[in-house]
Amino acid sequence: MTASKTIETSLAERARAINLFSPPDDYFDDPSKYFRLLRDGDPVHQQEDGSILLTRYDDVRQIWRDLTGLVYKGEQFCKRFGEGPLLEHHTSTMLFRDNPDHDRLRNIVNPFFSQTSIQSLSAFTQEVVDREIKKVKEMGEFDFVHDFAFRIPVALICKVIGVPVEDANYIQAVGRKVLFPLNPKVPQEAIDDGHASVTEFKSYLAPFLGEIKARSSIDPSESILCAMAAAQRDGVEVSDDEILHMCIVTLNGGHETTTNLISQSIHFLMEDPESLGQLRDGEVPVATALEELIRFITPLQLQGRRTTQDVELESGNGTIQAGTEVVLCQASANRDERVFENPNKLNLSRRPNNHVGFGAGIHVCLGRPLARMEASIAIPTVLKELPTLTRNGKARFQRNTRFRGLEKFPVKLA
Protein backbone atom coordinates (compact mmCIF):
# COMPACT_ATOMS: atom_id res chain seq x y z
CA MET A 1 0.00 0.00 0.00
CA THR A 2 1.39 3.47 -0.90
CA ALA A 3 1.99 6.08 1.82
CA SER A 4 -0.82 8.33 0.51
CA LYS A 5 -3.23 5.35 0.43
CA THR A 6 -2.35 4.58 4.07
CA ILE A 7 -3.00 8.19 5.09
CA GLU A 8 -6.35 8.13 3.26
CA THR A 9 -7.34 4.88 4.98
CA SER A 10 -6.50 6.19 8.39
CA LEU A 11 -8.42 9.40 7.64
CA ALA A 12 -11.49 7.37 6.66
CA GLU A 13 -11.10 5.13 9.71
CA ARG A 14 -10.82 8.08 12.07
CA ALA A 15 -13.84 9.73 10.44
CA ARG A 16 -15.92 6.54 10.66
CA ALA A 17 -15.13 6.34 14.39
CA ILE A 18 -16.78 9.72 15.09
CA ASN A 19 -19.98 9.26 17.02
CA LEU A 20 -22.29 12.22 17.49
CA PHE A 21 -24.34 10.14 19.91
CA SER A 22 -21.51 10.39 22.45
CA PRO A 23 -19.09 13.06 21.25
CA PRO A 24 -15.86 13.76 23.15
CA ASP A 25 -16.03 16.70 25.53
CA ASP A 26 -13.88 19.00 23.36
CA TYR A 27 -16.46 18.59 20.53
CA PHE A 28 -18.71 21.05 22.36
CA ASP A 29 -15.98 23.68 22.65
CA ASP A 30 -15.15 23.48 18.95
CA PRO A 31 -16.66 20.82 16.69
CA SER A 32 -14.93 22.14 13.53
CA LYS A 33 -12.05 19.60 13.46
CA TYR A 34 -14.55 16.71 13.71
CA PHE A 35 -16.64 18.17 10.88
CA ARG A 36 -13.53 18.54 8.70
CA LEU A 37 -12.60 14.92 9.33
CA LEU A 38 -16.12 13.80 8.40
CA ARG A 39 -16.25 15.95 5.24
CA ASP A 40 -12.88 14.65 4.05
CA GLY A 41 -12.92 11.09 5.32
CA ASP A 42 -16.54 9.94 5.53
CA PRO A 43 -18.96 12.47 4.01
CA VAL A 44 -21.83 9.96 4.04
CA HIS A 45 -21.48 8.79 7.63
CA GLN A 46 -23.39 5.78 8.93
CA GLN A 47 -24.63 6.38 12.49
CA GLU A 48 -25.33 3.82 15.19
CA ASP A 49 -29.13 4.17 14.85
CA GLY A 50 -29.01 3.48 11.10
CA SER A 51 -29.30 7.14 10.07
CA ILE A 52 -26.90 8.82 7.66
CA LEU A 53 -25.05 12.02 8.63
CA LEU A 54 -24.22 14.38 5.76
CA THR A 55 -21.56 17.03 6.31
CA ARG A 56 -20.67 18.48 2.90
CA TYR A 57 -22.39 21.68 1.76
CA ASP A 58 -23.65 20.36 -1.59
CA ASP A 59 -25.09 17.19 -0.06
CA VAL A 60 -26.79 19.02 2.83
CA ARG A 61 -28.34 21.55 0.47
CA GLN A 62 -29.50 18.95 -2.00
CA ILE A 63 -31.42 16.97 0.63
CA TRP A 64 -32.83 20.12 2.20
CA ARG A 65 -34.20 21.34 -1.10
CA ASP A 66 -35.54 17.95 -2.16
CA LEU A 67 -39.32 18.25 -1.83
CA THR A 68 -39.74 14.48 -1.68
CA GLY A 69 -38.00 14.37 1.73
CA LEU A 70 -40.23 14.19 4.82
CA VAL A 71 -39.91 15.58 8.33
CA TYR A 72 -42.65 13.69 10.18
CA LYS A 73 -40.97 11.38 12.70
CA GLY A 74 -43.92 9.83 14.53
CA GLU A 75 -42.57 6.28 14.46
CA GLN A 76 -38.98 7.19 15.30
CA PHE A 77 -39.96 9.59 18.10
CA CYS A 78 -42.45 7.08 19.50
CA LYS A 79 -39.60 4.57 19.91
CA ARG A 80 -37.44 7.20 21.61
CA PHE A 81 -39.97 9.11 23.71
CA GLY A 82 -42.85 6.63 24.10
CA GLU A 83 -46.46 7.79 23.85
CA GLY A 84 -47.30 11.05 25.63
CA PRO A 85 -47.12 14.85 25.47
CA LEU A 86 -43.53 15.03 24.18
CA LEU A 87 -44.45 12.84 21.23
CA GLU A 88 -47.61 14.88 20.69
CA HIS A 89 -45.61 18.13 20.59
CA HIS A 90 -42.88 16.97 18.24
CA THR A 91 -45.43 15.58 15.80
CA SER A 92 -47.88 18.52 15.89
CA THR A 93 -45.84 21.57 14.87
CA MET A 94 -45.01 22.72 11.36
CA LEU A 95 -41.36 21.85 12.04
CA PHE A 96 -42.23 18.13 12.01
CA ARG A 97 -45.25 18.15 9.69
CA ASP A 98 -45.30 17.56 5.96
CA ASN A 99 -47.67 19.06 3.44
CA PRO A 100 -50.51 19.85 3.34
CA ASP A 101 -50.43 20.34 7.16
CA HIS A 102 -47.13 22.20 7.12
CA ASP A 103 -48.38 24.94 4.79
CA ARG A 104 -51.80 25.08 6.49
CA LEU A 105 -50.11 25.94 9.82
CA ARG A 106 -47.29 28.10 8.46
CA ASN A 107 -49.65 30.26 6.37
CA ILE A 108 -51.57 31.39 9.47
CA VAL A 109 -48.49 32.88 11.15
CA ASN A 110 -46.48 33.89 8.06
CA PRO A 111 -47.73 37.52 8.02
CA PHE A 112 -46.07 38.13 11.40
CA PHE A 113 -42.68 37.46 9.87
CA SER A 114 -42.94 39.62 6.75
CA GLN A 115 -40.30 42.34 6.36
CA THR A 116 -42.95 45.00 7.02
CA SER A 117 -44.12 43.43 10.30
CA ILE A 118 -40.59 42.94 11.47
CA GLN A 119 -39.61 46.52 10.61
CA SER A 120 -42.49 47.73 12.75
CA LEU A 121 -40.79 45.99 15.71
CA SER A 122 -37.38 47.59 15.26
CA ALA A 123 -38.06 50.67 17.42
CA PHE A 124 -39.31 48.40 20.22
CA THR A 125 -36.18 46.23 19.82
CA GLN A 126 -33.91 49.25 20.14
CA GLU A 127 -35.80 50.26 23.29
CA VAL A 128 -35.32 46.79 24.81
CA VAL A 129 -31.62 46.77 23.88
CA ASP A 130 -31.08 50.25 25.37
CA ARG A 131 -32.90 49.28 28.57
CA GLU A 132 -30.81 46.10 28.98
CA ILE A 133 -27.56 47.98 28.19
CA LYS A 134 -28.40 50.45 30.95
CA LYS A 135 -28.95 47.58 33.40
CA VAL A 136 -25.64 45.86 32.66
CA LYS A 137 -23.77 49.16 32.83
CA GLU A 138 -25.06 49.47 36.39
CA MET A 139 -24.07 45.86 37.15
CA GLY A 140 -20.47 46.26 35.94
CA GLU A 141 -19.84 42.49 36.15
CA PHE A 142 -22.39 40.17 34.60
CA ASP A 143 -23.08 37.04 32.59
CA PHE A 144 -23.43 38.13 28.97
CA VAL A 145 -25.81 35.31 28.06
CA HIS A 146 -28.22 35.40 30.94
CA ASP A 147 -28.09 39.08 31.86
CA PHE A 148 -28.05 40.50 28.34
CA ALA A 149 -28.28 38.36 25.17
CA PHE A 150 -31.25 36.26 26.32
CA ARG A 151 -33.25 39.34 27.39
CA ILE A 152 -33.57 40.70 23.84
CA PRO A 153 -35.09 37.81 21.82
CA VAL A 154 -37.25 36.65 24.70
CA ALA A 155 -38.81 40.12 25.06
CA LEU A 156 -39.54 40.19 21.33
CA ILE A 157 -40.97 36.72 21.03
CA CYS A 158 -43.17 37.15 24.12
CA LYS A 159 -44.59 40.30 22.51
CA VAL A 160 -45.14 38.57 19.15
CA ILE A 161 -46.85 35.54 20.75
CA GLY A 162 -48.84 37.64 23.23
CA VAL A 163 -47.54 36.46 26.64
CA PRO A 164 -45.98 38.58 29.44
CA VAL A 165 -42.22 39.17 29.16
CA GLU A 166 -42.02 38.83 32.98
CA ASP A 167 -42.44 35.08 32.38
CA ALA A 168 -39.22 34.92 30.32
CA ASN A 169 -37.17 32.82 32.75
CA TYR A 170 -39.99 30.33 33.15
CA ILE A 171 -40.48 30.09 29.36
CA GLN A 172 -36.77 29.45 28.83
CA ALA A 173 -36.60 26.75 31.51
CA VAL A 174 -39.65 24.82 30.32
CA GLY A 175 -38.76 25.33 26.65
CA ARG A 176 -35.28 23.85 27.06
CA LYS A 177 -36.72 20.69 28.55
CA VAL A 178 -39.03 20.33 25.55
CA LEU A 179 -36.15 20.77 23.09
CA PHE A 180 -33.37 18.80 24.78
CA PRO A 181 -34.75 15.32 23.93
CA LEU A 182 -34.23 16.14 20.23
CA ASN A 183 -30.50 15.59 20.77
CA PRO A 184 -29.19 12.31 19.33
CA LYS A 185 -28.95 10.47 22.67
CA VAL A 186 -30.47 11.61 25.96
CA PRO A 187 -31.10 9.92 29.33
CA GLN A 188 -34.61 8.67 30.22
CA GLU A 189 -34.80 11.38 32.88
CA ALA A 190 -34.61 14.08 30.17
CA ILE A 191 -37.41 12.37 28.25
CA ASP A 192 -39.59 12.23 31.37
CA ASP A 193 -38.85 15.91 31.98
CA GLY A 194 -39.75 16.62 28.34
CA HIS A 195 -43.18 14.98 28.70
CA ALA A 196 -43.90 16.88 31.94
CA SER A 197 -42.69 20.18 30.43
CA VAL A 198 -44.96 19.94 27.38
CA THR A 199 -47.95 19.44 29.69
CA GLU A 200 -46.82 22.34 31.84
CA PHE A 201 -46.19 24.63 28.86
CA LYS A 202 -49.64 23.88 27.44
CA SER A 203 -51.31 24.59 30.79
CA TYR A 204 -49.41 27.87 31.01
CA LEU A 205 -50.53 28.97 27.51
CA ALA A 206 -54.12 27.67 27.58
CA PRO A 207 -55.60 30.51 29.73
CA PHE A 208 -54.19 33.14 27.32
CA LEU A 209 -55.88 31.36 24.43
CA GLY A 210 -59.09 30.94 26.45
CA GLU A 211 -59.22 34.66 27.20
CA ILE A 212 -58.78 35.59 23.52
CA LYS A 213 -61.38 33.07 22.35
CA ALA A 214 -63.91 34.56 24.79
CA ARG A 215 -63.61 38.00 23.16
CA SER A 216 -66.46 39.15 20.95
CA SER A 217 -64.01 40.33 18.31
CA ILE A 218 -60.36 39.35 17.80
CA ASP A 219 -57.76 41.55 16.09
CA PRO A 220 -55.50 39.03 14.27
CA SER A 221 -52.65 41.54 14.02
CA GLU A 222 -52.36 41.82 17.82
CA SER A 223 -50.33 38.64 18.39
CA ILE A 224 -49.78 35.11 17.08
CA LEU A 225 -52.24 33.78 19.65
CA CYS A 226 -54.84 36.24 18.33
CA ALA A 227 -54.07 35.43 14.69
CA MET A 228 -54.55 31.72 15.30
CA ALA A 229 -57.72 32.15 17.37
CA ALA A 230 -59.14 34.48 14.69
CA ALA A 231 -58.27 32.02 11.92
CA GLN A 232 -60.02 29.24 13.86
CA ARG A 233 -63.12 31.42 14.30
CA ASP A 234 -63.07 32.22 10.57
CA GLY A 235 -63.27 28.52 9.77
CA VAL A 236 -59.59 27.74 9.06
CA GLU A 237 -58.89 24.18 10.15
CA VAL A 238 -56.69 24.50 13.25
CA SER A 239 -57.28 22.84 16.62
CA ASP A 240 -56.61 24.32 20.08
CA ASP A 241 -53.79 21.81 20.56
CA GLU A 242 -52.20 22.88 17.28
CA ILE A 243 -52.39 26.52 18.40
CA LEU A 244 -50.70 25.73 21.72
CA HIS A 245 -47.97 23.66 20.04
CA MET A 246 -47.43 26.43 17.49
CA CYS A 247 -46.86 28.89 20.36
CA ILE A 248 -44.42 26.51 22.06
CA VAL A 249 -42.36 25.93 18.90
CA THR A 250 -42.29 29.64 18.09
CA LEU A 251 -41.43 30.68 21.64
CA ASN A 252 -38.59 28.13 21.67
CA GLY A 253 -37.37 28.86 18.14
CA GLY A 254 -37.71 32.56 18.80
CA HIS A 255 -35.36 32.91 21.73
CA GLU A 256 -32.85 30.07 22.07
CA THR A 257 -31.11 30.37 18.69
CA THR A 258 -31.08 34.17 18.63
CA THR A 259 -29.69 34.34 22.18
CA ASN A 260 -26.94 32.00 21.00
CA LEU A 261 -26.28 34.13 17.93
CA ILE A 262 -25.94 37.40 19.85
CA SER A 263 -23.81 36.01 22.68
CA GLN A 264 -21.46 34.00 20.46
CA SER A 265 -21.09 36.91 18.05
CA ILE A 266 -19.67 39.02 20.87
CA HIS A 267 -17.61 36.06 22.17
CA PHE A 268 -15.97 35.38 18.78
CA LEU A 269 -15.53 39.07 17.95
CA MET A 270 -13.64 39.51 21.23
CA GLU A 271 -11.32 36.69 20.09
CA ASP A 272 -10.73 38.52 16.81
CA PRO A 273 -10.01 42.21 17.59
CA GLU A 274 -9.46 43.06 13.92
CA SER A 275 -12.98 41.96 12.96
CA LEU A 276 -14.41 43.58 16.07
CA GLY A 277 -12.77 46.88 15.09
CA GLN A 278 -14.08 46.62 11.52
CA LEU A 279 -17.64 46.25 12.75
CA ARG A 280 -17.38 48.86 15.49
CA ASP A 281 -15.85 51.41 13.10
CA GLY A 282 -18.44 50.81 10.39
CA GLU A 283 -15.88 49.44 7.89
CA VAL A 284 -18.26 46.61 6.93
CA PRO A 285 -22.02 46.88 6.53
CA VAL A 286 -23.79 45.34 9.53
CA ALA A 287 -26.00 43.18 7.27
CA THR A 288 -22.97 41.64 5.52
CA ALA A 289 -21.12 41.06 8.81
CA LEU A 290 -24.18 39.46 10.34
CA GLU A 291 -24.45 36.82 7.59
CA GLU A 292 -20.84 35.87 8.25
CA LEU A 293 -21.49 35.59 11.98
CA ILE A 294 -24.50 33.36 11.29
CA ARG A 295 -22.39 31.17 8.96
CA PHE A 296 -19.52 30.97 11.41
CA ILE A 297 -21.67 30.22 14.49
CA THR A 298 -24.58 28.29 12.95
CA PRO A 299 -26.67 28.35 16.17
CA LEU A 300 -28.83 25.41 15.00
CA GLN A 301 -26.38 22.71 13.93
CA LEU A 302 -28.33 19.60 12.87
CA GLN A 303 -31.60 18.87 11.10
CA GLY A 304 -33.36 15.74 9.91
CA ARG A 305 -35.14 14.46 6.82
CA ARG A 306 -36.42 11.04 5.73
CA THR A 307 -36.01 10.10 2.08
CA THR A 308 -39.03 8.66 0.29
CA GLN A 309 -37.13 7.57 -2.80
CA ASP A 310 -33.54 6.70 -3.67
CA VAL A 311 -31.58 9.95 -3.90
CA GLU A 312 -28.41 10.04 -5.94
CA LEU A 313 -26.10 12.67 -4.48
CA GLU A 314 -25.10 15.10 -7.23
CA SER A 315 -21.66 15.42 -5.64
CA GLY A 316 -20.98 11.83 -6.68
CA ASN A 317 -20.92 10.72 -3.02
CA GLY A 318 -23.30 7.83 -3.69
CA THR A 319 -27.01 7.10 -3.40
CA ILE A 320 -29.13 7.35 -0.28
CA GLN A 321 -31.74 4.62 -0.14
CA ALA A 322 -35.45 5.40 0.12
CA GLY A 323 -36.71 5.39 3.72
CA THR A 324 -33.40 6.56 5.25
CA GLU A 325 -33.31 8.98 8.16
CA VAL A 326 -30.80 11.61 7.07
CA VAL A 327 -29.18 14.00 9.52
CA LEU A 328 -28.07 17.22 7.86
CA CYS A 329 -25.15 18.93 9.56
CA GLN A 330 -25.51 22.53 8.46
CA ALA A 331 -22.80 23.50 10.95
CA SER A 332 -20.33 21.48 8.91
CA ALA A 333 -21.78 22.60 5.56
CA ASN A 334 -21.16 26.20 6.62
CA ARG A 335 -17.47 25.38 7.19
CA ASP A 336 -16.99 23.47 3.94
CA GLU A 337 -13.78 24.65 2.31
CA ARG A 338 -15.15 23.52 -1.07
CA VAL A 339 -17.52 26.53 -0.86
CA PHE A 340 -16.10 28.97 1.71
CA GLU A 341 -12.48 30.08 1.48
CA ASN A 342 -10.66 29.83 4.81
CA PRO A 343 -13.93 28.80 6.50
CA ASN A 344 -12.66 28.68 10.08
CA LYS A 345 -11.73 32.36 10.01
CA LEU A 346 -14.28 35.16 10.38
CA ASN A 347 -14.33 37.33 7.27
CA LEU A 348 -17.00 39.92 7.97
CA SER A 349 -17.03 41.22 4.42
CA ARG A 350 -17.34 37.72 2.88
CA ARG A 351 -19.39 37.77 -0.31
CA PRO A 352 -21.05 35.76 -1.67
CA ASN A 353 -22.09 34.09 1.55
CA ASN A 354 -24.73 31.51 0.73
CA HIS A 355 -24.66 29.87 4.14
CA VAL A 356 -27.36 27.42 5.20
CA GLY A 357 -27.68 28.63 8.80
CA PHE A 358 -31.43 29.15 8.39
CA GLY A 359 -32.02 25.99 6.38
CA ALA A 360 -33.46 25.73 2.89
CA GLY A 361 -36.61 24.44 1.20
CA ILE A 362 -40.15 24.68 2.59
CA HIS A 363 -39.07 24.59 6.25
CA VAL A 364 -36.61 27.46 5.85
CA CYS A 365 -36.56 29.37 9.15
CA LEU A 366 -39.79 31.25 9.66
CA GLY A 367 -38.24 33.70 12.11
CA ARG A 368 -35.13 34.65 10.13
CA PRO A 369 -36.18 38.29 9.47
CA LEU A 370 -36.83 38.69 13.20
CA ALA A 371 -33.50 37.11 14.20
CA ARG A 372 -31.61 39.27 11.69
CA MET A 373 -33.34 42.44 12.83
CA GLU A 374 -32.68 41.76 16.53
CA ALA A 375 -29.03 40.81 16.06
CA SER A 376 -28.33 43.74 13.74
CA ILE A 377 -29.52 46.11 16.45
CA ALA A 378 -28.11 44.31 19.51
CA ILE A 379 -24.57 43.53 18.30
CA PRO A 380 -23.56 47.02 17.05
CA THR A 381 -25.19 48.63 20.11
CA VAL A 382 -23.08 46.44 22.42
CA LEU A 383 -19.89 47.35 20.53
CA LYS A 384 -20.74 51.05 20.68
CA GLU A 385 -22.12 51.31 24.21
CA LEU A 386 -19.85 48.83 25.99
CA PRO A 387 -16.41 49.57 24.51
CA THR A 388 -14.59 48.36 27.65
CA LEU A 389 -16.33 44.97 27.76
CA THR A 390 -13.81 42.23 28.63
CA ARG A 391 -13.87 38.61 29.78
CA ASN A 392 -14.22 37.89 33.45
CA GLY A 393 -13.51 34.16 33.52
CA LYS A 394 -13.84 31.27 31.10
CA ALA A 395 -16.85 30.99 28.83
CA ARG A 396 -18.44 27.53 28.64
CA PHE A 397 -20.37 26.01 25.74
CA GLN A 398 -23.58 24.06 26.32
CA ARG A 399 -23.24 20.26 26.08
CA ASN A 400 -25.79 20.17 23.26
CA THR A 401 -25.12 18.88 19.73
CA ARG A 402 -28.19 20.48 18.09
CA PHE A 403 -28.06 23.96 19.59
CA ARG A 404 -24.63 25.54 19.75
CA GLY A 405 -24.69 28.09 22.51
CA LEU A 406 -22.81 29.47 25.47
CA GLU A 407 -23.96 28.24 28.84
CA LYS A 408 -22.05 31.00 30.58
CA PHE A 409 -20.00 33.95 29.39
CA PRO A 410 -18.76 35.99 32.36
CA VAL A 411 -17.78 39.56 31.43
CA LYS A 412 -17.06 42.89 33.07
CA LEU A 413 -16.77 46.52 32.13
CA ALA A 414 -13.21 47.65 32.70
Secondary structure of 86-114 in HEC code, one letter for each residue? HHHHCCCCHHHCCCCHHHHHHHHHHHHHC
CB of residue 364 to ligand HEM, shortest distance in Å: 6
257 binds ligand HEM (CB under 6 A): yes
* Chosen residue from 89, 363, 402, 404 binding ligand HEM by CB under 6 A: 363
Among 18, 94, 327, 333, binds ligand HEM (CB under 6 A): 94
Contacts of 59 (CB under 8 A, 6+ apart): 43, 44, 313, 315, 317, 333
- Told to check if 365 binds ligand HEM by CB under 6 A, we report yes
Q: At what angle do helices 368-385 and 122-139 cross, to 10 degrees?
A: 40
Closest by CA to 45, choosing from 331, 400, 317, is 317
Segment near ligand HEM (CB under 6 A); pick from 30-38, 127-135, 256-264, 380-388: 256-264
Distance CA 391, CA 258 (A): 21
C-beta separation of 224 from 93 below 8 A = no
Under the criterion CB under 6 A, does residue 258 sit at the interface with ligand HEM? yes
CA gap 35, 361 in Å, rounded = 23
Beta strand ranges found along 222-354 (DSSP E): 302-306, 311-312, 319-320, 325-329
CB of 370 to ligand HEM, least distance (A): 4
Residue 334 interacts with ligand HEM (CB under 6 A): yes or no: no
Q: Which stretch binds ligand HEM (CB under 6 A): 162-170, 183-191, 246-254, 275-283?
A: 246-254
Closest separation in Å from C-beta 214 to ligand HEM: 26
| Residue number, 42 or 372, with CB nearest to ligand HEM | 372
Range in contact with ligand HEM (rule: CB under 6 A) among 20-28, 176-184, 188-196, 251-259: 251-259
Q: Does 253 bind ligand HEM (CB under 6 A)?
A: yes
Shortest distance in whole angstroms from residue 295 CB to ligand HEM: 10
Residue 386 per-residue DSSP state: -
Spatial CA neighbour of 90 closest among 266, 228, 248, 217: 248
Sign of CA dihedral 163, 167, 173, 177: negative
Rounded-to-integer distance, Cα 57 and Cα 295, Å? 12
When the beta carbons of 86 and 326 are compared against ligand HEM, the nearer one is 326
Long-range own/partner contacts, residues 312-318 (CB < 8 A, 24 or more apart): 313/44, 313/58, 313/59, 313/62, 314/58, 314/62, 315/43, 315/56, 315/58, 315/59, 315/62, 317/43, 317/44, 317/56, 317/59, 318/44
The smaller minimum CB distance to ligand HEM, of residues 51 and 392, is found at 51
Using rule CB under 6 A, residue 366 touches ligand HEM: yes
C-alpha to C-alpha distance for 381 and 361, rounded to whole angstroms: 33
State which amino acid sits at residue 398: Q
Contact region for ligand HEM (CB under 6 A) — 43-51, 123-131, 166-174, 254-262?
254-262
Q: 15 or 340: whose CB is closer to ligand HEM?
A: 340
144 interacts with ligand HEM by CB under 6 A: no
Footprint on residues 173-192 left by ligand HEM (CB under 6 A): none
Beta carbon of residue 371, minimum distance to ligand HEM (angstroms, whole number): 4
The one among 95, 247, 266, 279 contacting ligand HEM by CB under 6 A: 95
Per rule CB under 6 A, is residue 332 in the interface with ligand HEM?
A: no
Task: Answer yes or no whether residue 31 interacts with ligand HEM by CB under 6 A.
Answer: no
Exactly one of 73, 80, 106, 245 binds ligand HEM (CB under 6 A); that residue is: 106
Q: Are strands 396-397 and 319-320 parallel, antiparallel or unpaired?
A: unpaired
**Which residues in this chain contact ligand HEM in the complex, by CB under 6 A?**
71, 94-95, 106, 157, 249-250, 253-254, 257-258, 261, 299-300, 303, 357-359, 363, 365-367, 370-371
